[in-house]
Amino acid sequence: MSSKSQPKTVVVGLSGGVDSSVSALLLKEQGYRVIGLFMKNWDEDEHCPATLDYEDVVSVCDQIGIPHYSVNFTKEYWDSVFSEFLDGMKKGLTPNPDVLCNREIKFKVLLDKAMELGADYLATGHYCRTGPCHELLRGLDPNKDQSYFLYTIKDKILDKVMFPIGHLPKSEVRRIADEKGLVVSKKKDSTGICFIGKRDFKTFMNKYIPYTSGSFERLSGEVVGRHDGTPFYTIGQRRGLGIGGPGEAWFVVGKDCERNVVYVEQGEDHPALLSHSLIATEVTWVKDQIPALPLRCSAKIRYRQKDHACTITSMNEEKIVVEFDEPQRAITPWQSVVFYQGEECLGGAMIVRSGPTLHQVQGALHCAV
């Protein structure tokens, strides 16, 4: 930045973690006028220590030499994120609250608050980047790239957003924090769903939704065990099933919520887990200009998965079909499928269901013989 120009103001969303802290530090060193803003999104208890995180935010801001504020978005988070998460869980689906939080909280109400404070930009500690025409680009660290969670963010919003560490590997972010003596330099990364924290997922969810035990069944109808409630299980899940016996490990391959049945089969690559296609809805594109379909690109169906070549076609006004060149494992309803062309994240959609699995295809071929 030119020393003669009036410094731009950047509000940094601070979580009390190392990524957002280093983001604020780098912006301050680049000559921006930086303000730290801490969000409280959940009513605090012993499992959600917002007070401790805020203390870290205060310490970091004091070290860097920037002002800080705290805002309470618990009502907005409940109404726009947690309620939708609960609705999906009641239906036996597997919603992704991180995508909802970015869309409804961080890049809506937090952005609005930043603008109220007179900011020119909002900055966050996400590992992603923006292009010269407000494209959403992958973070350069492939193990930390978070563009998957940001596909709902429009280019007109990205015009007001900065990702100061998107060009850095995580190891360099840690090194900078340690070199500058930030109090959070050794703080562990947060994992899992933010509002659940360290508590047991089933115990937490039972406070809001009563679940009923049911049967684990093979696709043949054979009962092989009991489950705690269909919403606790997701396609491709291995851990926590409690099904013993000889042979390969058991995996969830499907659910029938009306019958309260979770289908399981043995083998990580069982044909019932593999499908060449999916149907998705709630399609959103980062750019206002919607690409012409059919579209050749690549896509991923979960975070940290490598994206795979695919073709997107239109099913109707509300849904698309994504056909992959290679079969995909454990396509899960109400998770996101996110589209890429090279480094650019084009957008994404919510998965409604997978296409025919290889198990179904093989069964149809067997019946035809």
Residue 62 lies in a domain: yes
- Whether omega before 294 lies within 30 degrees of 0, making that bond cis, reads yes
For the chain, the maximum distance between any two Cα atoms, rounded to a whole number of angstroms, is 80
Q: Which CATH number does the domain housing residue 247 bear?
A: 2.30.30.280
The answer on pLDDT for 365 being more than 50 is: no
Mean pLDDT of the chain: 91
- DSSP annotation of 272 reads G
Give the number of other CB atoms < 10 A from CB of residue 101: 25
CA separation for the pair 307, 293 (Å, rounded): 19
Q: Which CATH number does the domain housing residue 105 bear?
A: 3.40.50.620
302 burial class (0-12, 13-18, 19+ CB within 10 angstroms)?
A: middle
**Strands 308-314 and 33-40, bridge-based pairing:** unpaired
How is residue 105 written in tokens? 């909280």
CA separation for the pair 93, 327 (Å, rounded): 22
CA separation for the pair 214, 217 (Å, rounded): 9
| Higher local confidence (pLDDT), 137 or 244 | 137
| Domain total of the chain | 3
For residues 29 and 137, state if they share a domain.
yes
The answer on pLDDT for 11 being more than 50 is: yes
pTM: 0.91
For residues 259 and 295, state if they share a domain.
no
Mean pLDDT, residues 218-222: 96
For residues 120 and 148, state if they share a domain.
yes
Report the catalytic residues: 101, 194
**Percent of the residues in the chain that have a pLDDT greater than 70, as a whole number:** 92
For residues 31 and 171, state if they share a domain.
yes
For residues 43 and 107, state if they share a domain.
yes
Residue 185 lies in a domain: no
Residue 245, by phi and psi: left (phi above 0), alpha (psi -120 to 50) or beta? left
The answer on pLDDT for 123 being more than 80 is: yes
287 CB-near residues (< 8 Å, 6+ apart) = 135, 155, 346, 347
* pLDDT score of 248: 95
| Higher local confidence (pLDDT), 75 or 245 | 75
Among residues 104, 210, 207, the alpha carbon closest in space to that of 157 is found at 104
CA separation for the pair 82, 100 (Å, rounded): 9
Q: Which CATH number does the domain housing residue 350 bear?
A: 2.40.30.10
* pLDDT score of 191: 63
User: H helices within 139-272, ranges in order?
Assistant: 155-158, 170-179, 201-205
Q: pLDDT grade, residue 369 (50/70/90)? A: very low
Taking only the tens place, the pLDDT of each residue in 226-258 is 999 998 899 999 999 999 889 999 999 999 988
Q: pLDDT grade, residue 43 (50/70/90)? A: confident
How is residue 75 written in tokens? 């009502």
Among residues 73, 72, 75, 80, the alpha carbon closest in space to that of 101 is found at 80
* pLDDT score of 14: 96
CA separation for the pair 45, 274 (Å, rounded): 41
For residues 148 and 222, state if they share a domain.
no
For residues 43 and 112, state if they share a domain.
yes
Q: pLDDT grade, residue 52 (50/70/90)? A: confident
For residues 112 and 33, state if they share a domain.
yes
Among residues 286, 283, 269, 272, the alpha carbon closest in space to that of 337 is found at 283
Taking only the tens place, the pLDDT of each residue in 242-301 is 998 899 999 999 999 889 999 999 999 999 999 999 999 999 999 988 899 999 999 999
Give the domain range for residue 292: 273-368
77 burial class (0-12, 13-18, 19+ CB within 10 angstroms)?
A: buried
* pLDDT score of 298: 98
